[in-house]
Amino acid sequence: MTSPAAAKAKVTENPNPQTTQGVAREVARELAPVRTEAGIKIRARDVNFYYGPKQVLNQVSMDVRERKITALIGPSGCGKTTFLRILNRMYETVKQARAEGEVKLDEESIFGIALPYLRRRVGMVFQKPNPFPKSIFDNVAYGPRVHGIASGAKLTELVEQSLRGAALWDEVKDSLHKSAFSLSGGQQQRLSIARALAIDPEVLLLDEPCSALDPISTAKIEELLFNIEERCTVVIVTHNMAQAARVADYTGFFLMGRLVEFNDTKTIFTTPAKKETEDYITGRFG
Amino acid sequence: MNRLTWRKTVNTVMSGVTALCALVAVAPLLFVLGLLVVKGASSLNWAFFTKLPVPVGETGGGIANAIAGSGQLLLLAALFGVPLGVLGGIYLSEFGGWGVPFFVRYAADLLVTVPSIVIGIFAYAVVVLPVGHFSALAGGFALGVMLLPIVVTNTEQFLRTVPVWLREGSLALGAGHWKTIVSVVIPGALQGILTGILLALARVAGETAPLIFTAFNNAYWNRGLNQPISSLPYMIWIYGLSAYDDWHRQAWAAALVLLGFVLLVNVVSRLVLARGMAARRAA
Amino acid sequence: MAISNTTLAGPPPGGPSERWRFLGGTRGVDTIAWLVTLVAALSVLFVTVWLVVELWRHSTLPRQAFGFRFLLDSVWDPVFGHFGALPFVYGTLVTSAVAMLIAVPLGVGAAIFLAELAPRGFSDALTFLVELLAAVPSVVLGLVGIFVVVPWVRTSFGPVLKDLFGFTPLFQGPIYGVGFLTSGLVLAIMVLPFIVSISREVLLSVPVDLREGALALGATKWEATWKVVVPTAGTGILGSIFLGLARALGETMAVSMVIGGTPQIAASLFAPGYSIASVIADQFSEATGDLFRQSLIELGLVLFGITLLLHAVARALVHFTTRKARGAA
């Protein structure tokens, strides 16, 4: 967890604070009506992305604010999921995929952080609930065990807290050792969230987490996002604009591999600067 | 007869002919099974399974040593073929790129097709010649060489049925590649892999050709891995070709035992696999 | 509600060196796993190559003594150390040809029925039984061959054939029961499940819209099958036939029990003969002298060569059609 002191320490670690602060000021000017002061957790600059010869992201730059919810919206195939999968380098599972540009997590290039550590810091929840063929308990305990974070009573406690964090505890506390497949779709997705929370990530990426769920399950997940926000930065891809408007502090609109507009959610949905954004949020296309 | 009636007649006749073909294709299995039961079942008793063979002319005697020998040969084959096969299958499914997997898959496919008698010659050249005599080890090696490509192919196929999103779920939690394979991918495919191994064992259990000049034969209890060893298929072969009615009777009974084992394993594992597939499709 | 730091064993490792150790650990395990599984996978390749090398190495004597004449010489005389493979090559080809003549029409017919005409559940059940036939050990079929098929050919089937086709050289001479014909019959049973099961799969992979297109034009079920589906699956079916043939050529035990064990080239299918695989099985463990044994090993090499060739052709055919069908779908 990044305490203020730790954040300060990280700034002093930065070899070139002058430039960074300069950039930060510049960005702060760009994003004028910020609701609260928030540090920048992830800084992406001029990101290009290719699947083989095909370019799917073009010069994307974005600052993800710490402990805020950032939503990425846009029509399908616009590159929002691809961008998300760059942030924890999940794209690397696909051969012939290539990313260019600069992505920094707390001033450290994510390409310099070895994968297990990066993914411990940047967790991910996928579109389709993906419980492992194990018990509910073992699903949540998977991450902590992999990273050697906790064992024994501590692990039990951690599992409980993670399940509470994902608003699932009350429903499963009596069936922790049942197969995760016995849960409903919405419960499975919250289990996936609990599993991601159990390694205490600094950033949580969610890739259309509600697209396969019913409205009630969706509402539960949206609600728990506000709780998660208190302790980690959230980036959520959604095709549901109402969802973005409900949950996000900041919203970025992607179109054909470009980040067309990025601003606080209110501005995006009330007074977008670009015509494409307005067309999209008013439902004129996409 | 007008043209339409003619076409309809052809349709009916050919449906009947192909149905007949299908029945003829099924008939041999039922015929063989029935024949073995008729000819062999009456000879099956406790002594048959527990006694050693007796010299020609004496009555009684059993095939205990052949059953034990087959078991030992299968164990040796599994020790050689299963670990290598499973690990190789993991490579093909989880690590493979373009070059090596292509050649390995081709070699595995070819090796499955190679006549088992040729595998026997190979084992003879590699194990029997240097040692100077037939041995259980040579027979086990031959069967293991037959087992290896089957296990590799099976393992790869079942690992591939594990969906990508399960792997991604584990990788996204920061688990390494191997950790993901061991704790998420393999458990997801374990049932298939194990049944595949069982099927492969049942298949090589019936092989005689690779044993003729590797494991050879032995009329007594097997005396060690370095010595010739008896086996069920070999015994059926020798007894079947002999000139004695009592040996023929025992050959039928032994064949019934062997076929029963092979069919049982096949039926059970195929049912298990089919159920697993259905469950996965439902999930 | 937030997870406090105190429940964790510790925060992520802080300093670069500590971090590296943590990461290095995982990466090290992955590298080792990659290496170990790679070696295991390569072992398949290695065994295949090793097999060829050993067969080659242990068959130098007959190659030096007879060269290519080995394949064309029809005299096999261990007593005088004269070895020619032609009778065995002939026996292998003839028995396989008989087997394929019986099994191909039967197998393809059955596959058509199972894939196109039969109700799905019934078809699955029958296919299951046919595939079980492939699991029957060849020595068991050999046993049935000696005690059932041989007497049947000698007393019933052979005489009938002789009455009908006795004017051709194929069905003349005394009927021993054992011989090319009986071997071919037994082989047909062994090859049948391969042809049925693979052909059925290939037929099932033909896209449904092709079938429906033909039916929509007023074709009967049989016409749609025979004129549209079967031609589309043609190469794949051919592939299944080649795979069956590869199995027939290499089949050892059942053939060795019913072929008669006589190294001769005879026109009559009633005559006893020998095949490559069965002569190796019969004579190898009694082979005295290096030239004798190495000649048998060279026969094994010939068998391997034939398998290699057939396998390559069969694979190419099956691969080609399933990919074409998938591309069209």
Tell me the longest C-alpha to C-alpha distance in chain C. Answer: 98
Name, in order, each residue with C-beta under 8 angstroms of A146's C-beta and a sequence gap of 6 or more. Answer: A116, A199, B173, B174, B175, B176, B179
Across the range C177-200, mean pLDDT stands at: 93
Q: What is the mean pLDDT of chain C?
A: 85
Rounded Cα gap, residues B229 and C72, in angstroms: 38
Q: What is the DSSP string of C278-317?
A: HHHHHHGGG--SHHHHHHHHHHHHHHHHHHHHHHHHHHHH
Among A115, A150, A164, whose Cβ lies nearest the Cβ of C9? Answer: A150
Chains that touch A (3 or more CB pairs under 8 A): B, C
Quick: pLDDT tens for B85-144. Answer: 999 999 999 987 778 899 999 999 999 999 999 999 999 999 999 988 889 999 999 999
The 3-state DSSP composition of chain B as helix, strand, coil percent (nearest 5) reads 80, 0, 20
The position carrying tokens 């970025």 is A252
ipTM of the complex: 0.91
Query: Helix, strand or coil for residue A206?
Result: strand
DSSP code, position A44 = E
Kindly indicate the confidence band of residue A227, based on its pLDDT and cuts at 50, 70 and 90: confident
Rounded to the nearest 5 degrees, what angle is found at the Cα of B210, between the Cα atoms of B206 and B215?
Answer: 95
DSSP code, position C85 = -
A113 or C42, higher pLDDT: C42
Type of residue numbered A50: Y
The position carrying tokens 């069982």 is B198
Type of residue numbered C80: F
- For strands C76-77 and A40-51, give the pairing: unpaired
Closest CA to C76 of C65, C87, C66: C87
Under 8 Å between Cβ of A84 and A205:
yes
Quick: pLDDT tens for A248-257. Answer: 999 999 999 9
Report which listed range, B225-234, B274-283, C7-16, C20-29, is most confident: B225-234
Across the range A251-279, mean pLDDT stands at: 91
Rounded Cα gap, residues C42 and A42, in angstroms: 43
Across the range C78-96, mean pLDDT stands at: 91
The pair of structure tokens assigned to C182 is 């009986």
Q: Which of C5, C8, C20, C22 to mutate against chain A (most A CBs within 10 Å)?
A: C8
Which residue ranges in chain B fall short of pLDDT 70?
1, 279-283
pLDDT at C306 over 50: yes
Q: In this structure, is the dihedral angle defined by the CA atoms of residues A229, A233, A237 and A241, taken in order, positive or negative?
A: positive
Kindly indicate the confidence band of residue C325, based on its pLDDT and cuts at 50, 70 and 90: low
* A positions 21-80 inside 8 Å of B (CB): none
pLDDT at C7 over 60: no
Task: Classify residue A24 as exposed, middle or buried by CB count within 10 Å of its CB (0-12, 13-18, 19+).
Answer: middle
Query: Helix, strand or coil for residue A55?
Result: strand
The answer to which of A3-17, A179-193, A240-254, B199-213 has the lowest mean pLDDT is A3-17
Kindly indicate the confidence band of residue C26, based on its pLDDT and cuts at 50, 70 and 90: low
Whether pTM > 0.90 for this model: the answer is: no
Rounded Cα gap, residues C118 and C130, in angstroms: 15
Closest CA to A197 of A159, A153, A226: A159
Residues of chain B positioned with their CB less than 8 A from the CB of A116: 174-176
For residue A216, the distance in angstroms to the closest alpha carbon of chain C comes to: 22
Query: Is C30 an 8 Å CB contact of chain B?
Result: yes
Share of chain C above pLDDT 90, in %: 45
Under 8 Å between Cβ of A60 and A116:
no
Q: What is the pLDDT of residue C169?
A: 86
Closest CA to A72 of A223, A284, A243, A213: A243
Query: Is A148 an 8 Å CB contact of chain B?
Result: no
The 3-state DSSP composition of chain A as helix, strand, coil percent (nearest 5) reads 45, 25, 35
Rounded Cα gap, residues B254 and C147, in angstroms: 15
Task: Classify residue C315 as exposed, middle or buried by CB count within 10 Å of its CB (0-12, 13-18, 19+).
Answer: middle
Closest CA to B51 of B205, B253, B225: B253
Under 8 Å between Cβ of C311 and B109:
yes
Query: Is C65 an 8 Å CB contact of chain B?
Result: no
The answer to which of A109-118, A194-203, B134-143, C43-52 has the lowest mean pLDDT is A109-118
Q: What is the mean pLDDT of chain A?
A: 83
Q: What is the pLDDT of residue B76?
A: 95
Closest CA to B92 of A91, C311, C43, A130: C43
